[in-house]
Structure 1
Amino acid sequence: MKKLFSVWIRTLYTSDINQDLTRIFSGSTMPKRTKVRAAPGPGAKKVKPNPAPFSITNDFQFSPVPELMRTATVLQTPEKASTDKKEYRAIRLKNGLTVLLISDCTYPLDKLDEEEALLAAKEETAAKGELDDEEEVSLIFKQCWLKAFSCLVWIAQIYGGIAEGHPMSKFMWGNTKSLSPEGMTDAEMSKRLHSFRDRHYSAQYMTLAVQSQHSLDTMQEWVEQIYSLIPNNGLELESFKHLDKPFLNPRYNKLYRIRPTQDIYQIDLTWSLPSTLDRYRSKPLHYLSWIIGHEGKGSLLSFLRLSPQEPNSRIFKEIQEIERLDYMYKEEKQPCDNVETLCENMQFFPAERFLDGDDLLFEFDPDFIKQCTDALVVESVNIFVKTCDISESELDQVEPWFNTKYSESEIPSAWILACKDHVYSSEFHLPEPNLFIAEDLSIRSADIEGSMYPVRLVEDELGELFYKKDESFLQPRAYIQYHIRSHLQLQCLENSIMLDLLANCVLQLMVEDVYPADLAQLNFSLYASETGLVIKVSGLSDKLPRLMETILKHLTAMSDTIQESLFNAVLEQQRKNYYNHSIKPSKLVRDVRLI
Structure 2
Amino acid sequence: MLFGSLARPGHPMKKFFWGNAETLKHEPKTNNIDTYTRLRDFWQRYYSAHYMTLVVQSKETLDTLEKWVTEIFSAIPNNGSPRPSFGHLTQPFDTPEFHRLYRVVPVRKVHSLSITWALPPQDQHYRVKPLHYISWLVGHEGKGSVLSFLRKKFWALALYGGNGETGFEQNSTYSIFSISVTLTDEGYKHFYEVAHVVFQYLKMLQKRGPDKSLCENMQLFQKEDFLTGDQLLFEYKPDVISDALNQLCPQRANLVLLSAANEGKCHLKERWFGTQYSEEDIDTYWSDLWASDFQLNEDLHLPEENKYIATDFALKAPDCPESEYPVKILSTQQGCLWYRKDDKFKIPKAYIRFHLISPLIQQSAENVVLFDTFVNILTHNLAEPAYEADVAQLEYKLVAGEHGLVIRVKGFNHKLPLLFQLIIDHLSDFSFTPAVFEMITEQLKKTYFNILIKPETLAKNVRLLILEHGRWSMIDKYETLMKGLSIESLSSFVKAFKSQLFVEGLVQGNFTSRESKDFLNYVVQKLQFFPLPHPCPVQFRVVDLPSTHLLCKVKALNKGDANSEVTVYYQSGARSLREYTLMELLVMHMEEPCFDFLRTKQTLGYHVYPTCRNTSGILGFSVTVATQATKYNSELVDKKIEDFLSFFEEKIKHLTEEAFSTQVKGKVKE
Fold match, TM over 0.5?
A: yes
Unmatched 5+ residue regions in structure 1? 1-153, 324-346
1:218 to 54, 59, 64: 64
Q: Distance in 1 between matches of 2:451 and 2:13?
A: 43
Q: Does 1:563 align with 2:429?
A: no
Change in 2 beyond 3 A, CA 1:236/1:540: farther
CA contact (8 A) 1:157 1:172 kept: no
Q: Does 1:248 align with 2:94?
A: yes
Q: Which residue in 1 is equivalent to 2:384?
A: 512
Q: Does 1:413 align with 2:284?
A: yes
Task: Report how far residue 191 of structure 1 moved.
Answer: 4.9
Q: Which residue in 1 is equivalent to 2:124?
A: 278
Task: Report how far residue 534 of structure 1 moved.
Answer: 3.8
Unmatched 5+ residue regions in structure 2? 147-197, 453-457, 472-539, 542-670
1:369 to 241, 246, 262: 241
Q: Which residue in 2 is equivalent to 1:145?
A: none
Q: Distance in 2 between matches of 1:430 and 1:213?
A: 44
CA contact (8 A) 1:485 1:531 kept: yes
Task: Report how far residue 557 of structure 1 moved.
Answer: 2.8
CA contact (8 A) 2:108 2:450 kept: no
Q: Which residue in 1 is equivalent to 2:610?
A: none
2:426 to 531, 545, 554: 554
Change in 2 beyond 3 A, CA 1:525/1:237: same
Q: Distance in 2 between matches of 1:242 and 1:565?
A: 52
**Can you list the C-alpha shifts for 1:411-470, whole angstroms capped at 9, x where unaligned?**
221232454584661121122223323333343343444322213444568754432133
SS in 2 for 1:278: helix
Aligned residues: 409
Q: Which residue in 1 is equivalent to 2:396?
A: 524
**Can you list the C-alpha shifts for 1:479-506, whole angstroms capped at 9, x where unaligned?**
1123456677799999888766654443
Q: Does 1:304 align with 2:202?
A: yes
**Can you list the C-alpha shifts for 1:102-157, whole angstroms capped at 9, x where unaligned?**
xxxxxxxxxxxxxxxxxxxxxxxxxxxxxxxxxxxxxxxxxxxxxxxxxxxx4234
CA contact (8 A) 2:2 2:270 kept: no
**Where in structure 2 are the equivalents of 1:214-363 lying within 5 Å?**
214-300=60-146, 301-302=198-199, 303-306=201-204, 308-317=207-216, 320=217, 323=218, 347-363=219-235
**Corresponding letter in the other structure for 2:118:** S
Q: Distance in 1 between matches of 2:349 and 2:314?
A: 10
Change in 2 beyond 3 A, CA 1:289/1:357: same
Task: Compute the RMSD of aligned alpha carbons.
Answer: 3.7
**Corresponding letter in the other structure for 1:516:** E
Q: Distance in 1 between matches of 2:71 and 2:98?
A: 52
Q: Distance in 2 between matches of 1:492 and 1:168?
A: 52
Q: Distance in 1 between matches of 2:64 and 2:404?
A: 57
Change in 2 beyond 3 A, CA 1:224/1:458: same
Q: Distance in 1 between matches of 2:83 and 2:244?
A: 29
Q: Does 1:203 align with 2:102?
A: no
Q: Distance in 1 between matches of 2:451 and 2:10?
A: 50
CA contact (8 A) 1:258 1:387 kept: yes
**Corresponding letter in the other structure for 2:2:** I
Q: Distance in 2 between matches of 1:289 and 1:192?
A: 40
CA contact (8 A) 2:386 2:419 kept: yes
**Where in structure 2 are the equivalents of 1:472-487 lying within 5 Å?**
472-484=344-356
Q: Distance in 1 between matches of 2:434 and 2:397?
A: 24
Moved more, 368-377 or 422-431: 422-431
**Corresponding letter in the other structure for 2:253:** V
Question: TM-score, structure 1 length as denominator?
Answer: 0.60
Percent identity (aligned): 39
Q: Distance in 2 between matches of 1:404 and 1:492?
A: 40
Moved more, 168-177 or 397-406: 397-406
SS in 2 for 1:272: strand
Q: Distance in 2 between matches of 1:391 and 1:555?
A: 40
Task: Report how far residue 304 of structure 1 moved.
Answer: 0.9
**Can you list the C-alpha shifts for 1:554-589, whole angstroms capped at 9, x where unaligned?**
233335xx4343345556667887899999434555
Change in 2 beyond 3 A, CA 1:353/1:575: closer
Q: Distance in 2 between matches of 1:509 and 1:400?
A: 43
Query: Which structure carries more relative contact order (alpha carbon 8 Å, separation 6+)?
Result: 1
Question: TM-score, structure 2 length as denominator?
Answer: 0.54
**Corresponding letter in the other structure for 1:432:** E
Q: Which residue in 1 is equivalent to 2:462?
A: 585
Q: Distance in 2 between matches of 1:389 and 1:466?
A: 50
**Corresponding letter in the other structure for 2:239:** D
CA contact (8 A) 2:106 2:275 kept: no
Q: Distance in 2 between matches of 1:485 and 1:373?
A: 49
Task: Report how far residue 275 of structure 1 moved.
Answer: 1.2
**Corresponding letter in the other structure for 2:429:** A
CA contact (8 A) 1:581 1:587 kept: no
Task: Report how far residue 382 of structure 1 moved.
Answer: 1.6
SS in 1 for 2:119: coil
**Where in structure 2 are the equivalents of 1:40-59 lying within 5 Å?**
none
Q: Distance in 2 between matches of 1:223 and 1:547?
A: 48
Moved more, 500-509 or 286-295: 500-509
SS in 2 for 1:358: coil
